[in-house]
Amino acid sequence: MIRDAIREFHEYYYSSVDFKKWRSNFSREIYACLKPNIGLHEDVLITELCKVMSGQEFRAGSGRIFIESNKAHGYSTSGVEFDYIGENVKKELADMIIISAVTFQREVLFLKTAFIQNKNANRGNKRTDSWSIDQEQLFLLKNFPSFVGVHGIIDRMFGRKQVDFMNHSGTLGNYGLFTLQGDLAFLTARNVFCAQKASGGLSFESIRNAANASATSHSYYQGSQFCGRCHRKHCMDCFEGHREYPMSLSQLNYLPFFNNYSYALNVYEVVKDLTCFNIGEPSCAFGRITDRDLFDFTAKILHKSFGYTIAENRFFDNENENIYRDEGGATVILNRLELGKNYG
């Protein structure tokens, strides 16, 4: 049944004009909210972005995609302490968290998490968009060294216990870059590291050059799929061996869904990768937890922000209306795909 639902979802959504139109309309709504607010603080931009994203829904064929968001207030940001070139430093983990959940009649097939650090473009240079990058925070989001929480949700969850997020795909840490023109780009922390200048600054021109070089080397969308079971690239042969997985890379060449993105250089590409579930590091794949610390963190955030509970690998709504919808000083976006006809 799961195999048939995944196949039907892929075949329908991959060729669906209605799905394409929905994504285009979604993108236009984001542009309409960003354009008049560009230049304001990132917190304001994210708040407006959440209003647009929350409640977005598309259902057809064997799937229903819907998005929820929760702009948290009140608590300090999620600060962590880690070793940076021989010194202990403290940094914010992220100011936005994107969680992608794929379920089949409430059984969790995929659970993915992305930490996003959002940055406004520098106002001084009008010729090209540029951003200032904190190198210590970049080190954290690129490498995810062992760390401990010092305040916020990480501290409340793990205390002084060492936390280890695996980040096998390299897509757990990301940057959301707002442009002066009212656009938005997403880059993995690794791609920010590779595209930045010697001074540590980042320009859109350097990003574009790095993306072109990546596309030329055939790694723009290919070569980045990690199966979450043996953590090797292009391992759909491993997934195909799973009793329910229907297809291999030899059949698809590359996967448009459930993949790992490299660059999303404007709002249209961000929305495409988001709704194809290509953003984030998996902590659960086909019922197998691949990253215990990340899985526990994600489950906690889901419960605190939206009232959802994951128990015995099943996804439950919490009927308690007094959900504490406030967590960690970060914006939380839930991108959910429910496969099968039972959407309830």
Return the exposure string of 198-211: e unless at least 16 CB atoms fall within 10 Å of the residue's CB, then b.
eeeebbbebbeebb
Range of lowest pLDDT (29-38, 228-237, 251-260): 228-237
Copy the structure tokens of residue 215.
């596309």
Which amino acid belongs to residue 212? N
Is residue 302 in a domain? yes
pLDDT of the residue at 217: 59
Is residue 344 in a domain? no
How many domains does the chain fold into? 1
Return the exposure string of 111-127: e unless at least 16 CB atoms fall within 10 Å of the residue's CB, then b.
bbbbbbbbbbbbeeeee
Is residue 122 in a domain? yes
Is residue 183 in a domain? yes
Condensed to tens digits (0 to 9), the pLDDT of residues 82-135 reads 999 999 999 999 989 999 999 998 889 899 999 999 999 998 766 789 999 999
pLDDT of the residue at 3: 75
Give alpha helix (H) positions in the chain: 2-15, 17-34, 42-53, 135-143, 153-158, 189-195, 204-216, 236-241, 249-252, 267-275, 292-306
Under 8 Å between Cβ of 338 and 60: no
Is residue 276 in a domain? yes
Average pLDDT, the chain: 82
Is residue 82 in a domain? yes
Q: Select the more confidently predicted residue: 153 or 234.
A: 153
Q: What is the mean pLDDT of residues 165-189?
A: 95
* Domain extent for 142: 2-339
* Dist CA 164 CA 148 (whole Å): 9
CA-based R_g, the chain, Å? 19
Which amino acid belongs to residue 216? T
Copy the structure tokens of residue 198.
């010697």
pLDDT at 274 over 90: yes
Confidence bin at 166 (pLDDT 50/70/90):
very high
Angle, CA 231 vertex, CA 311 and CA 295 arms, to 5°: 25
Q: Scanning the structure block, which residue is given the tokens 């996967």?
A: 255
pLDDT at 258 over 80: yes
